[in-house]
Amino acid sequence: MENKKDYYKILGITEDEKKLKGDEFNKILKRNFRKLSLKYHPDRNPGDKDAEEKFKDVAEAYDTLLNKRDEYDNPMSGFSFSGPSDIDEILRQFRHSFGFGFGDGMDTQEVGDDVSGTVTFTLEEALNGTTKKVRYRRHVRCNKCNGTGIGKNGKKVKCSHCGGHGRIVQSNGWMTMEQTCPYCGGSGEEIKNPCKSCNGTGLREVVEEESFKLGKGIAEGMTFVKRGKGNEVASADGKSGDLYIVLKEIHGRFERRGDDVLTTIDVNVFDAITGCKMSVKGLDGKYFDVEIPKCSEEDSIVTCKGKGLPRYSDTYVGNLICRIHIKMPKSLSDSQIKAIKEIK
């Protein structure tokens, strides 16, 4: 009978997260590994053999899913873990990979998840800069139980599902799988009479608002961050995650081309033939004169220097590119038709 550990469950990776690939999956993998390795690290649990075994499982799961995920996921590969089993060797690799050990002055605080969102802006706002208010949801420490999850007259007891071991074994035909207890999350404990305000989680959800000052020349895809405004953790000595916002541009009558801005101007056919001076509205809402050359054709370009967007954190200003759309008259008088024929 094969005994194959479920590395996804050991690291608390959900079924939806298992579907992710590449950098998206690795981001979640590293986040979960950091949390669990901090929780079970031997330096934080001296003499606790159970925590040491859990730390080994977490390190084994992380190494496998980071470096050998395809082989592990293939049931026909005959996968077997070949990493170190000695705790000292695991700790050595842990320090080598992350650049620290708990005895090296590392910040051992548990860190909450980051929160992210999207903020829209117009090119007009990119011209002068703007301030955006963001409403978002995050988890904060429960103020009723101070993050313990324990209600009135409540207490922590041994988990009734795993017997306090933090892991359970499930059999499915010829395969036996060992996984983190889904009821206690691997802690080996459950709460008798949990806090009613947070349902024993130690956290509650709130809606908050933060302001972001965005400078001139902002562009789609830029990311801004506010440290410590993400999710909190239940532990009183934990550290909050961060709040990230990603900018998304709303397209109007202007279209961005790097620092340049493209717009379309309507020019009647007679002005396109003879050339003219016409008034055009810029990004800032102000009008300025543009020279339309003689014999301009459909989609001809007129470039207005320095009327585009400022480059972010720079003094350079792009151009406004005017694309000509020739408007034909809806009707002509007999005398106008005669005059055009005479020109031909």
How far from the centroid of its chain's Cα atoms is residue 341's Cα? 64
What tokens appear for 47 in the block? Answer: 């003499």
Residue 197's identity, in one-letter code, is: S
CATH of domain 1-108: 1.10.287.110
What tokens appear for 244 in the block? Answer: 């990230």
pLDDT at site 77:
61
- Is residue 130 left, alpha or beta, with left meaning phi > 0 and alpha meaning psi from -120 to 50? beta
pTM score of the predicted model:
0.57
CATH 1.10.287.110 boundaries in the chain: 1-108
pLDDT in tens, 103-159: 444 455 678 888 988 999 999 899 989 999 999 999 999 999 999 999 988 998 999
Candidate from 11-15, 35-39, 176-180, 294-298 with smallest mean pLDDT: 176-180
Residue 135's identity, in one-letter code, is: R
What is the CATH architecture assignment of 110-136+206-250? Sandwich (2.60)
CATH 2.60.260.20 boundaries in the chain: 110-136+206-250, 255-343
Q: Is the pLDDT of residue 332 over 80?
A: yes
Summarize the confidence of residues 164-177 as an average pLDDT. Answer: 76
What is the CATH architecture assignment of 255-343? Sandwich (2.60)
